[in-house]
Amino acid sequence: MFTCEERLAILNIAHSISEIHKTGHFERQRRAASVLKASVKGLDEFDDNQIKSHIIYEILLIYRILDHRFA
């Protein structure tokens, strides 16, 4: 469902999220966010990729909230 590059981007963002508890800081993952933004632009949210599109949108929304609050 996700490409290797998308998986790595998701893992990088997830790692930054997990580090908030330890450091109190959210490390931006601009490259990872860009990869996910580019991926979701090419998806039609009403086809077979609907779940993938929704997951990426949710990850990017969480990323944005944490970036504004902790970065």
Under 8 Å CB-to-CB from 57, ≥6 apart: which residues? 40
pTM score of the predicted model: 0.88
Mean pLDDT computed over every residue of the chain: 92
* Euclidean distance between CA atoms 3 and 68, whole angstroms: 28
Of 48 and 27, more confident: 27
Task: Report the C-alpha gap between 63 and 71 in whole angstroms.
Answer: 10
| Measured distance CA(67)–CA(51) in Å, rounded | 24
Q: Is 64 helix (H, G, I), strand (E, B) or coil?
A: helix
| Cβ partners under 8 Å of residue 33, min gap 6 | 9, 13, 60, 63
Q: Which residue has the higher pLDDT, 4 or 40?
A: 4
Instruction: Look at residue 45 in the predicted model and tell me its pLDDT.
Output: 66
